[in-house]
A and B are shown apart, each in its own frame.
Chain A
Amino acid sequence: MSLYQLQHLQQRFAKKTVLDIDELTIEQGCIHALLGPNGAGKTTLLNILAFLESPVCGELAFQGKRVDYAKGNILSLRRQVVLVDQHPIMFSTTVRANIEFGLKIRKIDGATRNRVVDEVLETVGLARYKNARADALSGGETQRLALARALALEPQVLLCDEPTASVDAENQAVITELLRTINREQATTIVFTTHDRLQAATLAQHTLVLENGQRVNTTYENSYACTFEPTSGDKDRYLLHGVVELYLSAENRKSGQGGRGRITLNPESIRLVTDLRESPPVCSQVQGRVVMMMEEGHTIRVVVDVGVLMVVLMLADDYRQQNPAIGQQVCVAVPDSACSWTTAC
């Protein structure tokens, strides 16, 4: 069942369109990951889903009903959704008072508030800080407290803006597991933004990718800011993050001029070659060092440092044949068909 339905939704700031979504459905009870580079419109979309901003045009339906942005109506919708910021801020009072804030607003009685505060603090592992000052907690603890503050309200939807971006590895694992537990035990719909495709793949049932405010059908893997310039031959020169050179067919570009934009290399279409003497025909190639390998279902994810980190998804047979090792110098062959290119706005 769909919880949110967005149609032809646009958001503009200072005459610049920052979000332009033709159609998007968010399923109830599922975890959705929202991927995209900085400035792609992820936070703007979360703000709209949290009913904190109204779009300039388009339609948003929640639980099958069109959202009416009249003052009285929006408050009742907002109370069903909680947004946890990337850098959450705590009210300058105790941990307990921070969690109680939303409960008091909803006129929950004192005994219930006490019980809920104890329960959510136990859930996020911060019970010992109940009476501590909330603004004195560390970054990871603050992120967990922000989740506890949201959970206390038992929202239908939990929106998290890069929940693990600014915390250490230990807290990342705790927060990821918390999100999974909340979704499983309370059937809370979760939408979170991330740059980490691996986190998105392991945590979310659905993944959405935004680029320049629009939904795109890429995996948001191997997506690099780059510049390109035409050459005298039939290949254009693409410079990824200013450090990695690729020569790709001129058919990729849409104009005759050089420019800036973003290139995405499909990790299933690019090839890893361990024998550096083997030269794949008609392919641009870059050399690098294998830095990580991981089994993912029927494929093996190999991360190669070619100046930027490049992910290659290898089928098991190909992996056995190439047999790469961590630290090994390898070659990544990039056929033209693996690339998609978007021009910067």
Chain B
Amino acid sequence: MNFFVDSFFAAFRLIGTGDAELLKIVEVTLSVSSLATVFASAVGIPMGFLIAHSQVPGKRAVITVLNTLLALPTVVIGLFVYVFISRRGIFGPLDLLYSQEAMVIGQFILIVPLIAALTIAAVSRVDARYQKTARTLGANGWQTALVILREARFAISAAVISGFGRVISEIGISMMLGGNIKGFTRTMTTAMALEYDKGSFTLAVALGVVLMTLSLGINIIFNLIQGKSSR
């Protein structure tokens, strides 16, 4: 028990003193996860909207595939992307392996299905009268789509936050495509795994605390925005 408490105190000291290694790991993690979330949102939200509003045959099959992809293990994505970006892969000459870009690509693939599937659910729940009202007030297709997205904004925000939460806490892609290179591709989760392997828990616990604090902070901000809007 003392060991656990000591690790906690040491971890807080590390955070309090602004340890350079810790800060760099947090910076890399936030940078990679944020970029992956932004790109995945830019693709996943419109994709989800189009699927939800399309009347094409095979729509249910597409939704089933998306839902299946939610369970895709990160190591499978890591392996899949590795095949393409390794030296012998078709994108080998781009020299992406063990870079932040490779991690962003892997994490993007991980959460596009998640954001798209949650967007489909969010948009499908929007009352059909919003669409009819927007159209009768003179909105074109694009303006009508914006109305629907606006009405689904909180559920879509939740989808984006879920996506961010998924990538910031994943380890398989970061380890396989980033290589856990100190100061370059080392993220909070890969660093925690390494420190655990070394039997050094102080940095691992400190990173765990930072990770949970970040998650808590994001959720508090989201709840504040949602609460302010519903008043």
Instruction: Check A79 for interface membership: any CB of B closer than 8 A.
Output: yes
Contacting pair B138 A52 (CB below 8 A) = no
- A75-B138 contact in complex given A85-B129, A89-B130, C-beta closer than 8 Å: yes
Contacting pair B137 A102 (CB below 8 A) = yes
Contacting pair B143 A105 (CB below 8 A) = yes
Q: Which residues of B contact A (CB under 8 A)?
A: 127, 129-130, 132-140, 143, 147, 150-151, 229, 231
Contacting pair B137 A105 (CB below 8 A) = yes
Q: Which residues of A contact B (CB under 8 A)?
A: 50, 52, 75, 78-79, 81-83, 85, 87-89, 91-92, 101-102, 105-106, 133, 149-150, 153
Name the A residues within 8 Å of B130 (CB-CB): 89, 91
Nearest to A146 among chain B residues (CB) is: B133
Tally A-B pairs: CB < 8 A: 49
- A85-B139 contact in complex given A91-B147, A91-B150, A91-B151, C-beta closer than 8 Å: no
Bound form: Cα–Cα A153–B133 in Å: 13
Name the B residues within 8 Å of A88 (CB-CB): 129, 133
Name the B residues within 8 Å of A106 (CB-CB): 138
Additional 12 contacts, C-beta under 8 A, given A89-B130, A91-B130: A52-B132, A82-B137, A85-B129, A88-B133, A89-B129, A92-B151, A92-B229, A101-B134, A101-B137, A105-B137, A106-B138, A153-B137
Interface of B is mostly: helix
Subset of 22 A-B contacts with CB under 8 Å: A50-B136, A52-B132, A52-B136, A75-B138, A75-B140, A83-B132, A87-B129, A88-B129, A89-B127, A89-B129, A91-B150, A91-B151, A101-B134, A101-B137, A102-B137, A105-B138, A105-B139, A105-B143, A133-B231, A149-B137, A150-B137, A153-B138
Shortest C-beta distance, A155 to chain B (Å), equals 9
Bound form: Cα–Cα A238–B139 in Å: 50
- A52-B127 contact in complex given A75-B140, A91-B147, A92-B151, C-beta closer than 8 Å: no
Shortest C-beta distance, A257 to chain B (Å), equals 40
Bound form: Cα–Cα A87–B128 in Å: 12
Nearest to B134 among chain A residues (CB) is: A101
Contacting pair A85 B133 (CB below 8 A) = yes
Q: Which of B133, B135, B147 has the most CB of A within 10 A?
A: B133
Q: Which of B129, B134, B137, B231 has the most CB of A within 10 A?
A: B137
Bound form: Cα–Cα A149–B133 in Å: 10
Name the B residues within 8 Å of A52 (CB-CB): 132, 135-136
Name the B residues within 8 Å of A91 (CB-CB): 130, 133, 147, 150-151
Name the A residues within 8 Å of B140 (CB-CB): 75, 105
Shortest C-beta distance, A160 to chain B (Å), equals 12
Bound form: Cα–Cα A85–B123 in Å: 21
Name the B residues within 8 Å of A81 (CB-CB): 136
Name the B residues within 8 Å of A87 (CB-CB): 129
Name the B residues within 8 Å of A83 (CB-CB): 132, 136
Nearest to B139 among chain A residues (CB) is: A105
Bound form: Cα–Cα A158–B3 in Å: 75
Contacting pair A82 B136 (CB below 8 A) = yes
- A85-B137 contact in complex given A91-B147, A91-B150, A91-B151, C-beta closer than 8 Å: no
Bound form: Cα–Cα A130–B222 in Å: 27
